[in-house]
Amino acid sequence: MRHSWRIGRIFGIDINIDSSWFVIFLLFTWILAATYFPQQYPEWSGWLYWFTGIITSLLVFSSVLAHELAHSLVAIKQGEKVRSITLFILGGVAQISQEPKKPLREFTMALVGPLTSLAIAFVFLVLSFILRGISEPLGASASYLALINTALAIFNLLPGFPMDGGRVLRSIIWKVTGDLRKATRIASKVGQGFAFFFIFVGILQILRGFLSGFWLVFIGWFLHSAAVRGYHQVIVETMLKGVRAADLMTKEFEVVPSDLFIKNLVDDYILKKRERVFLVSDGGRLKGIVCLEDVKATPREKWSETKVSEIMTPEEKLESVSPDADGNKILNSLTAKDIHQVPVIRKDRIEGIICRSDILRYIQLRSELKV
């Protein structure tokens, strides 16, 4: 199971480190200390290789963080909300609340990342000349950081979604066609093309005996997955545009007691009444909500001994929305907070229930109808 840890907060943005980051940090440090610096500077001592390698690796990922901060600060200036930035095995990712609403906004937000990396590369290039006369290890570290930031900028400028260059390409096509879905589809296909290219080159390198080919295959696989996922995300946002909670909610719902066993809930309510979501109430007081997804998440052999109160979303953790709440925001909230259902309330009165499955079913129907 993957975990992430919050290590700080910059400009109101949570900075997290994913567990996979430690793998790439150790790998990066080992490559620098055991291979790169010894080849470039054979006269250094062993401890100096490792010390310079650790410092350089930390600065590499600080540069990645600066790249993502640039994206985030532009997004905030444009009125978007940035929940966090997470460093992981392939770099970093900013969790921005939603896609840009205009092509120019996306163009600006996407381009600022690579430009920031190029600016950082230039600063380290200048420092490498200055520091060589003061300390060779510092100059060597600065020289490598100039190189890696230049490579980071060039890689991100490849015109394949969801990389920065792909977002720039999408913003241009979006501006020309006025169709975000079409622009995303084209940029995503280009991104998948680059992904297959990386996989192909990686396989060739593996066949020739170069283990670095596995890294290219991994990058290609990741880019392909991200390109497909990014396109699907836009499709979902398009289909939910203008859709309100009142359009998604289930108005008919049953009430069950909290001490009901899951097996009885399944036999007497879910199967007989063919309902997917139930209010949990004791003596007329709302205790929580239980949904079909909560039941499915419980092992079948425990249904006879597990009560509804143990799997429901309790009242104090319930997120409620108004009937006019935006469909995209509801789905984002359910996903971000890992909850399955939300009550729709107007003036302290429950008008309906929305399960995550209700939203997904609505999207599936629109997809089948192509509307």
Most confident segment among 57-66, 237-246, 338-347, 354-363 = 57-66
Please check whether residue 278 lies inside any domain of the structure.
yes
Are residue 234 and residue 250 in the same domain, yes or no? no
Please check whether residue 234 lies inside any domain of the structure.
yes
Does 169 or 231 have the greater pLDDT score? Answer: 169
Q: The tokens of 107 are what?
A: 């163009």
Nearest residue to 73 (alpha-carbon basis) of 10, 120, 15, 117? 10
Are residue 259 and residue 289 in the same domain, yes or no? yes
Confidence of residue 327 (pLDDT cuts 50, 70, 90): confident
Bridge partners, 203 (sequence order): none
Are residue 179 and residue 152 in the same domain, yes or no? no
The answer to whether residues 350 and 285 touch, using CB atoms and an 8 Å cutoff, is: no
Checking if the pLDDT of 306 tops 90, the result is yes
Are residue 16 and residue 150 in the same domain, yes or no? yes
Comparing 29-43, 102-116, 310-324, which segment has the lowest mean pLDDT? 310-324
Are residue 217 and residue 250 in the same domain, yes or no? no
Most confident segment among 179-188, 245-254, 296-305 = 296-305
Task: List pLDDT tens digits, range 179-207.
Answer: 888 888 898 888 889 889 989 998 998 88
Confidence of residue 314 (pLDDT cuts 50, 70, 90): confident
CATH of the domain at 343: 3.10.580.10
Q: How far is CA 369 from the centre of its chain?
A: 29
Are residue 104 and residue 178 in the same domain, yes or no? no
Please check whether residue 108 lies inside any domain of the structure.
yes
Quote the percentage of the chain above a pLDDT of 70: 96
Task: List pLDDT tens digits, range 254-278.
Answer: 788 889 999 999 998 888 887 777 8
Comparing 51-60, 238-247, 263-272, 332-341, which segment has the lowest mean pLDDT? 332-341
Are residue 134 and residue 178 in the same domain, yes or no? no
pLDDT value of residue 115 = 94
Quote the percentage of the chain above a pLDDT of 90: 24
Structural domain containing residue 221: 174-239
Q: Which of 217, 239, 261 is the last residue of a domain?
A: 239
Confidence of residue 1 (pLDDT cuts 50, 70, 90): very low
Are residue 267 and residue 329 in the same domain, yes or no? yes
Are residue 233 and residue 257 in the same domain, yes or no? no
**Tokens 């991100």 -> residue:** 156
Please check whether residue 165 lies inside any domain of the structure.
no
Are residue 184 and residue 152 in the same domain, yes or no? no
Q: The tokens of 160 are what?
A: 């394949």
Checking if the pLDDT of 333 tops 50, the result is yes
Q: Looking at this protein, which amino acid is placed at residue 218?
A: F
pLDDT value of residue 124 = 94
Comparing 33-47, 256-270, 342-356, which segment has the lowest mean pLDDT? 342-356
Please check whether residue 50 lies inside any domain of the structure.
yes
User: Other C-beta atoms within 10 Å of 316: how many?
Assistant: 7
Please check whether residue 180 lies inside any domain of the structure.
yes
pLDDT value of residue 147 = 93
Are residue 28 and residue 110 in the same domain, yes or no? yes
Q: Which of 239, 259, 283 is the last residue of a domain?
A: 239
Q: The tokens of 84 are what?
A: 């966090």
Does 171 or 20 have the greater pLDDT score? Answer: 171
Please check whether residue 162 lies inside any domain of the structure.
no
Are residue 67 and residue 119 in the same domain, yes or no? yes
Query: Does the model's pTM come out above 0.85?
Result: no
- Structural domains of the chain, count: 3
Q: Which of 89, 124, 157 is the last residue of a domain?
A: 157
The answer for residues whose C-beta is within 8 angstroms of residue 354's C-beta and 6 or more apart is 245, 248, 249, 250, 321, 330, 341, 342, 343, 344
pLDDT value of residue 140 = 92
What is the mean pLDDT of the segment spanning 53-66? 92
Task: List pLDDT tens digits, range 147-175.
Answer: 999 998 998 888 888 788 888 998 999 99
Rounded to whole angstroms, how far apart are CA atoms 257 and 268?
12
Does 316 or 284 have the greater pLDDT score? Answer: 316
Does 346 or 32 have the greater pLDDT score? Answer: 32
Please check whether residue 169 lies inside any domain of the structure.
no
Task: List pLDDT tens digits, range 90-121.
Answer: 677 777 766 777 888 889 988 999 999 999 99
